[in-house]
């Protein structure tokens, strides 16, 4: 942060005002024991009241991840898995193909769909299967109708009439 002050892009007085008690928050990779509790909370948050079981092997894989995006990355992954699940449980088989298996290696980029692209595709596919019926599509996705409407607005989806 002090380099920004030196460059003149951050006000020196504001830096000292904010830097009364520096707080270092360790990355998620540095605290893998927090992952199970976070995963349980995110599953609960995104499951729409449904009970979803989690396997120990899945937790082991999640705890081994490098998590460069920290807690937001974990939540996005869990939301993606909950939305795409085919049953009432999640296991390591439900992890996306592009899941990070450990510390980042060279390259880093993946040709797999991003979460946003996958979500958009799921919503569009459900709408097309339902004939763009805004009551039937949420049933296919197992989400509330208002969530479908929100996603349609988010991705600027309109009926092709």
User: Residue 106: is its pLDDT beyond 80?
Assistant: no
Structural domain for 134, as ranges: 113-161
Considering the entire predicted model, what is its pTM?
0.53
Distance between CA 155 and CA 51 in Å, rounded? 28
The answer to whether residues 77 and 139 belong to one domain is no
Q: Which of 57, 75, 98 is the last residue of a domain?
A: 98
Residue 22 located in a structural domain: no
Together in a domain, 148 and 90? no
83 and 42 together in one domain: yes
Check whether residue 159 and residue 120 sit in a common domain.
yes
Q: Is the pLDDT of residue 97 over 90?
A: no
Tell me whether residue 4 is in a domain: no
34: DSSP letter: G
Instruction: Specify whether 70 is located in the same domain as 31.
Output: yes
Listed as own residue / partner, the contacts of 142-147 with beta carbons closer than 8 Å and 24 or more positions apart are 142/48, 142/50, 143/48, 143/83, 144/48
Residue 8: pLDDT over 90: no
CATH number at residue 59: 1.10.8.60
> Residue 129 in 3-state DSSP?
helix
Choice among 60-64, 93-97, 101-105, 133-137 with the minimum mean pLDDT: 101-105
Instruction: Report whether pLDDT(144) > 80.
Output: yes
Tally of structural domains, the chain: 2
d(CA 135, CA 142) in angstroms, rounded, equals: 11
Mean pLDDT (whole number) for 2-18: 85
pLDDT at 111: 43
């Amino acid at each position: 942060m002090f380099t920004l002050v030196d460059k003149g892009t951050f006000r020196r007085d504001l830096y000292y005002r904010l830097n009364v008690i520096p707080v270092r928050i360790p990355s998620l990779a540095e605290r893998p024991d927090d992952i199970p509790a976070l995963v349980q909370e995110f599953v609960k948050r995104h499951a729409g009241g449904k009970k979803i079981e989690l396997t120990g092997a899945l937790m082991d894989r999640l705890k081994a991840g490098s998590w460069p995006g920290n807690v937001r990355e974990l939540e996005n992954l869990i939301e993606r898995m909950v939305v795409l699940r085919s049953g009432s449980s999640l296991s390591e088989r439900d992890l996306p193909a592009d899941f990070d298996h450990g510390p980042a290696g060279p390259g880093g980029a993946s040709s797999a769909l991003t979460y946003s692209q996958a979500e958009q595709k799921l919503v569009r596919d459900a709408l097309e299967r339902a004939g763009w019926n805004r009551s039937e599509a949420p049933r296919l996705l197992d989400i509330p109708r208002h969530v479908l409407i929100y996603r349609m607005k988010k991705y600027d989806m309109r009926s092709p009439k």
